[in-house]
């Protein structure tokens, strides 16, 4: 459903949100990749993309790291779009560039409601909610 990069991105963002609930300190790549069990250099690349998409703020140098932008609650759909683009939520499931409501592909209408439902859930679910759940339920970032 999601690319590996996107899976990591969701874990990254959730972990940072979780950490920032506990303290205002920035979080660095090393801490993130250890916490979510992801390859460090690859994680750094994904972090760069998240910064470019303004879903994270980075600061370089000593005691640098990554943090959430101020007053900015981020949804899963924003993360997915930043990493995998609009394809999952907007693109044709059969890959047709020309598929639309008026010119639907053979399965368009059959999956429309399910995709809409998914889209709404991904928009509704934001880091605030997830981080709260993490605190309450002690959910995990790695296996």
Q: Which residues bind a copy of itself (CB under 8 A)?
A: 1-2, 4, 7, 10-11, 14, 76, 87-88, 93-98, 104-107, 109-111, 113-115, 117-118, 120-122, 124-125, 129-130, 133-134, 139-141, 143
41 binds, among a copy of itself, DNA, none (CB under 5 to 8 A by kind): DNA
Of all helices (H) and strands (E), which one includes residue 88? Answer: helix 87-90
Closest CA to 73 of 131, 25, 11: 131
| Contact between residue 75 and residue 124 where contact means Cβ atoms under 8 Å apart | yes
Q: Which helix (H) or strand (E) holds 79?
A: helix 76-84
Q: How many CB atoms lie within 10 A of CB 103?
A: 9
**Strand residue runs (E) in 1-143:** 57-59, 65-67
- Smallest separation, CB 18 to DNA (Å): 16
The entry of DNA, a copy of itself, none near residue 20 (CB within 5 to 8 angstroms by kind) is none
| Residue 48 near which of DNA, a copy of itself, none (CB within 5-8 Å, type-dependent) | DNA
Please report, as ranges, the residues that interact with DNA according to CB under 7 A: 3-5, 8, 28-30, 38-42, 44-45, 47-48, 51-52, 58-66
């Amino acid at each position: 459903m999601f690319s590996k990069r996107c899976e990591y991105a969701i874990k990254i963002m959730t972990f940072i949100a979780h950490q920032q609930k506990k303290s205002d300190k920035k979080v660095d790549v090393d801490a993130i990749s250890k916490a979510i069990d992801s390859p460090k250099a690859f994680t750094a690349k994904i972090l760069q993309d998240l910064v470019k998409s303004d879903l994270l703020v980075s600061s370089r140098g000593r005691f640098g790291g990554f943090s959430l932008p101020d007053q900015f609650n981020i949804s899963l759909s924003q993360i997915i779009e930043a990493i995998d683009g609009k394809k999952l939520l907007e693109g044709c499931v059969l890959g047709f560039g020309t598929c639309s409501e008026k010119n639907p592909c053979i399965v368009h209408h059959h999956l429309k409601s399910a995709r809409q439902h998914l889209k709404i859930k991904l928009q509704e679910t934001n880091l605030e909610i997830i981080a709260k759940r993490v605190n309450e339920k002690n959910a995990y970032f790695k296996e």
